[in-house]
Amino acid sequence: MYKAGKIPHQSEQLPTGSIIIYTNLEEQARKTVLYAQVSSYDQKEELKRQVQRLRDFSAEQGLSIAQEITEVGSALNGKRKKLLRILKDNSITILIVEHRDRLTHVGFEYLEASLQATNRKILVINDTECKDDLVQDMSDIFTLFCAHLHGKRSVKLRAKKALKACQT
């Protein structure tokens, strides 16, 4: 394998014939965390399914998972304790989520850039959202506005009612 150049790491052969393989210790020290989130307690079953999809993805990619973290709370809430703990922990280098909105509805790019500045990254396993969907963007902004205007309780219900009223 050494002579054929098939060793994936940097290596060298000593005059005695021994082959030394240098592995990237930084890569070995990576700590990968799965993060699953739902907005309300009545979505507990969806939370379990979400965690299983994250596990399946990690297994397919050959990633070793250090921790699985689940949280119930709105993605509009900036005070989710478990997510804040993950973001503050510099030993966590890879954060895996199912959808971008599991972390935040607005400002995902800022969060991603901030983590990249500290050599960490977010893996989104299902990034199928339509990037130029103006209706979804407006809905997210409207929901955020309602959250600030009416408080954080039942914002989703109020936003749905308001959108329904706008449609009629």
Q: Say whether 39 is catalytic.
A: yes
- Alpha carbon distance 5, 55 (integer Å): 33
Helices marked H in 10-107 — which ranges? 25-28, 44-61, 81-88
Helices marked H in the chain — which ranges? 25-28, 44-61, 81-88, 108-116, 134-150, 155-167
Catalytic residue among 11, 39, 40, 114: 39
- Alpha carbon distance 53, 59 (integer Å): 10
Beta bridge partners of 33: 67, 95
For the annotated catalytic residues, the residue numbers are 39
